[in-house]
Amino acid sequence: MSADTPRRIALLRHAKADWPQVSDHDRPLAERGRAEAAAVGLKLAETGIAFDLALCSTAARTRETWKAAVQELPHRPKTHYEERLYEASPGELIALLNETPDEVHDLLLIGHNPGMHALADVLSSRAQDDTLARMTRSGFPTAALAVVSFAGPWKSLEPGVGILLDYWTPKEH
């Protein structure tokens, strides 16, 4: 793969969580969330992207989402559980992504809103087809997935450098 081949970042919001009497960080998936997680796993497989790395929040609902989704992938990427993804702002997420080693081409980020939606918005200066309109219309519900591409090294990732390639929600499909 050449250095000028665009990189891809898939931004995945965790699936629907339950509200038991536990801390927010420890909330598990609801029954609907388990179905959403499997469905988004199928969508990830359908993209044909062989992710080199998955960065997943340490929250229970993100870990459960990833555990179900990864079962649907033909290739299991290296996974790193990252505390900094929990309650991260778009700026904090970009700073984290700037640390990604350049040998990583395609990366999957499993996190939370409002960070995932805001990051998809802030990175994307333009969009393919109607992806931006669909994302704007439906927001970024649980198990939503946005795929953004950009050119250059990870340390050059900043607002406006990306193209929104794909947007998917469980309700749309």
Domain-embedded: residue 2: no
**Beta strands 145-150; 162-168: pairing state:** antiparallel
pTM: predicted TM-score of the whole model, two decimal places: 0.95
In a domain, 11, yes or no: yes
What's the confidence (pLDDT) of residue 42? 97
Q: Indicate whether 72 belongs to any domain.
A: yes
For 35, the domain range is 7-172
For residue 84, being part of any structural domain is answered with yes
Secondary structure of residue 166 in the 3-state scheme: strand
The position carrying tokens 């340390």 is: 155
Catalytic positions:
14, 87
User: For position 145, which CATH number holds?
Assistant: 3.40.50.1240
Domain count, the chain: 1
1 falls within a domain: no
The confidence band for 3, taking pLDDT boundaries of 50, 70 and 90, is low
Question: Any binding-site annotation on 63?
Answer: no
Residue 151 lies in a domain: yes
Average pLDDT across the chain, whole number: 95
pLDDT, tens only, 106-135: 999 999 999 999 999 999 999 988 998 999
The per-residue pLDDT for range 58-96, each reduced to its tens digit, is: 999 999 999 999 999 999 999 999 999 999 999 999 999
**DSSP strand pairing (162-168 vs 7-13):** unpaired
Is 18 part of a structural domain of the chain? Answer: yes
To the nearest whole percent, how much of the chain has pLDDT over 90? Answer: 90
